[in-house]
Amino acid sequence: MSVWEIAGICAGVFIILVIIQKISGSQTPVRSVILSMLVGILALIAVDLCSCFTNVYIPVSLLSLAVSSVLGIPGVSTLLILQMIL
């Protein structure tokens, strides 16, 4: 995939998340989406930093970044559970 395709997909997902936040009645949908994305990415970073203590490692890839940024903490938790099971 080219950089433009990845950027287009990211922009499309961001716009869809903003629309969902607006429909759900949020007063500041853009801020809510950005905050949720940041919290998810920070949770992924925290898991990555603690991997030497817990021996549970989530490889940081485009897929794991997308899941953690779109789904937030529940997405990181799902990645952790899948990593422990598989």
Domain enclosing residue 50, as ranges: 3-85
pLDDT band at 44 (very low <50, low <70, confident <90, very high): very high
Report how many helices (DSSP H) and strands (DSSP E) the chain contains, helices first: 5, 0
- Please enumerate in sequence order all residues whose Cβ is within 8 A of that of 29, keeping only pairs 6 or more positions apart, or say none: 18, 19, 21, 22
- pLDDT(42) > 90: yes
Number of folded domains that form the chain? 1
Q: 56 pLDDT band (50/70/90 cuts)? A: confident
Q: Which residues of 21-46 are buried (b: 16+ CB within 10 A; e: fewer)?
A: beeeeeeebeebbeebbeebbebbee
Where residue 74 falls among pLDDT bands split at 50, 70, 90?
very high
Q: Quick one: tokens of 64?
A: 């794991």
